[in-house]
Amino acid sequence: MRKKVSKSKLRWLNLCLLGAGIFLGCAVSNLAETNHQAHAQEVHSQESAPSHGGGVANVLLAISLILIVAKLGGHFFEYLHMPAVLGELVGGVLVGNLWLIGFDTFEFVKHIPSIEILAEIGVMFLLFEVGLESKISDLLKVGVSSLLVAFAGIIVPFFLGAFVSHFFMPEAHIMAHMFIGATLCATSVGITARVLKDIKKIDISNIYLKLALDIIKNTEAVNVELKAEGLPAIAIGIGINTGDAIVGNMGSKTRFDYSAIGDAVNIAARLESATKERGVDILIGEETEKFCGYRLKVLESIKVKGKEKPLKIYTTN
């Protein structure tokens, strides 16, 4: 029988593999840089030609570094039950300022034009994502409060950014301070929306599980009363899953029913029926577990009709 590997060990294994990937990437980049310098010395007649600093190797290394740091930071903050985007931001700030403690290995990232272009495009995509997910009808429902939040999200970052810029660079032109403040305005809207989005996912998953635990607790109280009256106890099973679904009145004008359909609903129903097989009261799907703040127990995966891979399932301790 194959021995199961715990989730914590898998995380440490992934961390080691990522570390090995960074080391290998640095080695390849350094080798490319060494070859480039050797070639430049041989043909010093073309000394005035622009140097690419490792070319593709450095660009790939920089992208890999950014993705790895963002992923590790996001996972770490999710482990602390905080929004992943905060971990991504903290990771970027730490790596970008390592030169302050004399560690300048990753300073080359700041001088690659391709990375600067990708960063600007990334900010644009973040803002576009917020706009596409916003609905005018939802904004109108909250009225004045949404307007105040919108102004606060622009005015506060603008003046705060300009003040900090003037504090650290008092000799710079006022337009430079205004530019930095405007830059913070653009990013603060997207970051705020991303944080709220992550928090909403976390809170909803926790609410679902809390309700399920309350139902089980109330059922146990009812069973105590039934036992005192000499009646048989009742048992229920709850399946919790997260995903997209179509919800509403379905059918014809003469006959319809309020229902929910979709792949996520089918999986939740399968989890509910599997509670009998596994001898537990609650079964939780993998998508819900990702945003859940409770410590859950991993069970053996189940096979669901229509799915090629077995589904990971969890239950409460």
- pLDDT, one tens digit per residue, over 72-102 is 888 888 777 777 778 888 888 888 888 778 8
The set of long-range contacts for 12-21, using a CB threshold of 8 Å and a minimum separation of 24, is 15/72, 18/68, 18/71, 18/72, 21/64, 21/68
The share of the chain scoring above pLDDT 70, in percent, equals 67
Looking at residue 317, what is its pLDDT? 72
Q: Are 270 and 304 in contact (CB under 8 A)?
A: yes
Alpha-carbon separation of residue 122 from 129, 171, 186, 187, 190 (angstroms): 10, 31, 12, 10, 11
Q: Can you give the pLDDT at residue 139? A: 62
Enumerate domains of the chain plus CATH numbers: 7-37+52-204 (no CATH), 237-316 (3.30.70.1230)
Q: Is 103 exposed, middle or buried (0-12, 13-18, 19+ CB in 10 A)?
A: exposed
More confident: 167 or 44: 167
Enter the DSSP assignment of 109: G
Rounded Cα gap, residues 90 and 105, in angstroms:
19
Reply yes or no on whether the pLDDT at 281 is more than 70. Answer: yes
Confidence of residue 18 (pLDDT cuts 50, 70, 90): low
Indicate whether 129 pLDDT > 70: no
Give the mean pLDDT of 302-310: 81
Name the average pLDDT for the chain.
Answer: 75
- Measured CA to CA, the distance from residue 104 to residue 149 in angstroms comes to 40
Task: Give the predicted TM-score (pTM) of the model.
Answer: 0.45
